[in-house]
Amino acid sequence: MKVEELLKPFPLKEFHPFPRALMGPGAHEMIGPEALKLGFRKPLVMTSGLRGTDIVHNIVESLKYHGLDPVLYDEVESNPKDYNTMDSVALYQENSCDSFISIGGGSSHDACKGARVSVAHDGRNVNEFEGFNKSENPNNPPHIAVSTTAGTGSETSWAYVITDTTTDPDNPHKYVAFDDACVASLAIDDPVLYYDCPVDYTAQCGFDVLAHASEPYVSRINFEPSLGNALRAIKLTAENLRQATWNGQDLPGREGMMYAQYIAAQAFNSGGLGVIHSISHAVSAFYDTHHGLNNAIALPRVWAFNMPVAYKRFAEMAEAMGVNTRGMNDVQAADAALNAAIRLLRDVGITERFVDITKDTYSKNRLGEGPTKFYERRTQIKGDAEDVDAITKHVLGDACTPGNPKECTFDTVRPVVEHCMTGSLDELLS
């Protein structure tokens, strides 16, 4: 689909739905009673397993205590694959389940959303629903989404992201499906559940939040109801991410990031995203690297790329990030926002180039561990001309790209991707 075709709906802007939410310390203890209120009897619990914590065990046991009969699917992978979704659909159908509970970050929630859409269509493959509102039956099984990270926002958004493993392994495909029917029935955000997040995971999820907030703030959709949440989420991230990262059991830091991730998602839910996300989707399609880490590396380069068409918005973002912009013009303040983002990235210890990512860079990285045909040869990001070309082509086909404020072509985006691969952030500092 051409960009001009995708842009047709933008003049008539749409406010997409949110679920009801319970937020704050102890909110996860309400899962059992809330599930009963929603009519759950035999929920399929979808999660990555959250190994090393007792979160899943405690929630499942709480469900049983309240008289529910949960079935557990704990094999969701980072960057959820189509087969994760379809395996869970088969388990749901085999056990005559009637509802869903997802526990984790965006991977668990997204795989669950896709499974609900598939179940509502008699088990059709999730890949058939790529795009905008492709589902035909709006009556999906009810869903409680319990977040254990401050990053995704998937518990409140109308989007889910799936890696299609049926495509050519030399040209892998990760896509976004936007569907009003996939919105959860109830979102639960409890900062106490974030305490077990590793340091690197916390930091990189935090940059997912900053991407979620900054992209709708400068998006060509320019949706007024999204702008306040976007700017507030930028402020909350700048104020709380360092503390949440380095002192993980600091409740104010964790709670600040909880609210930041939630309202950032509500901003992009109707305000759109851009090529930070498109680059992230492309790189994880090829290498299975973590979405938040990808966003962190792409964000400074994409901000620099977009600033010439949105200096005033970036100047406002600088103020939200705590920069004293008095005496600066918009261009200077925009540069200060970029400097602040790079300072934050370095303060929380995030890798700065894609070629520097290794399997040990991040606790969840799966370089070389995914499905054999896709990832066995991809144990290290190459960043060569072939890599840059392939990832740029994927970016141009991503559903987030049309919302980018600056027009994207192969020739304009390729240098951005190349800089993400091998360039130095010092070159962007003013």
Residue 250 shares a structural domain with residue 146: no
Which residue range(s) make up the domain with 39?
Answer: 14-194
Residue 104 shares a structural domain with residue 242: no
Residue 217 shares a structural domain with residue 266: yes
Query: Stretch 405-412: mean pLDDT, rounded?
Result: 96
Higher pLDDT, 319 or 11: 319
Structure tokens at 256: 């600040």
Residue 213 shares a structural domain with residue 187: no
What CATH number is given to the structural domain containing 274?
1.20.1090.10
Find the distance separating the first CA and the last CA of the chain, reported in whole Å.
38
Q: Are 80 and 114 in contact (CB under 8 A)?
A: yes
Pair type for strands 159-164 and 173-178:
antiparallel
Q: How many structural domains compose the chain? A: 2
- Predicted confidence (pLDDT) per residue in 118-176, tens digit: 999 999 999 999 999 999 999 999 999 999 999 999 999 999 999 999 988 778 899 99
- Among candidate residues 133, 62, 139, the one with its CA nearest the CA of residue 103: 62
- Predicted confidence (pLDDT) per residue in 206-228, tens digit: 999 999 999 999 999 999 999 99
State residue 189 phi and psi, 5-degree precision. -120, 115
Residue 171 shares a structural domain with residue 203: no
What are the angstrom distances between the C-alpha of 213 and each of 33, 92, 210, 419? 33, 35, 5, 23
Q: pTM value?
A: 0.94
Residue 203 shares a structural domain with residue 185: no
250: burial class by Cβ within 10 Å (0-12, 13-18, 19+)? middle
What are the angstrom distances between the C-alpha of 153 and each of 19, 91, 355? 12, 26, 28
Cβ neighbours around 137 below 10 Å, total? 11
Domain boundary among 194, 220, 240: 194
Structure tokens at 317: 């973002």
- Predicted confidence (pLDDT) per residue in 63-96, tens digit: 999 999 999 999 999 899 999 999 999 999 999 9
